[in-house]
Amino acid sequence: MTKEQLEKLTVEYQALQEQLQGLSIQKAQFGEQNEEFKEALAEIEKATGKIFSTIGGVMIETSKEDAIKSVKEKKDSVELRLSIINKQYDEASKKEKSLRETIEEMLKQEKN
């Protein structure tokens, strides 16, 4: 392999590392949101008094059933996004590992 090919692979490797960092941040954010929705759902389910919900910065009274439904929908959406991001992260991670091994092999051959 030529020096140009090695440089191209190195650039691709760096881009993959940046992608992995971004996906890692998204995983953490959606993971936190998912935990918040789980906690909110638990609180709503054990609530006995009035329940309020915020819509566009306005707080309105809502039924317990509607509040549970709304939080479950949001939680499901976050879980779906988290699942997609996890798959993207796993795929990028495998590609990054393979690319790293290829670059390392090329560097070994270049030394010989």
Q: 84 lies in a domain?
A: no
Rounded Cα gap, residues 42 and 1, in angstroms: 58
| pTM for the structure as a whole | 0.81
- Residue 24 located in a structural domain: yes
- For residue 22, the enclosing domain spans 3-47+89-111
Q: Does residue 9 lie within any of the structural domains?
A: yes
Assigned domain for 32 exists: yes
Contact status, residue 89 vs residue 24, Cβ threshold 8 Å: yes
- Residue 75 falls inside a structural domain: no
Please tell me the total number of residues recorded for the chain in this structure.
112
pLDDT tens digits, the chain, 112 residues: what are they? 578 888 999 999 999 999 999 999 999 999 999 999 999 999 999 999 999 998 889 999 999 999 999 999 999 999 999 999 999 999 999 999 999 999 999 888 877 6
Is residue 19 included in any domain, yes or no?
Answer: yes
Residue with tokens 């190195």: 10
Domain total in the chain: 1
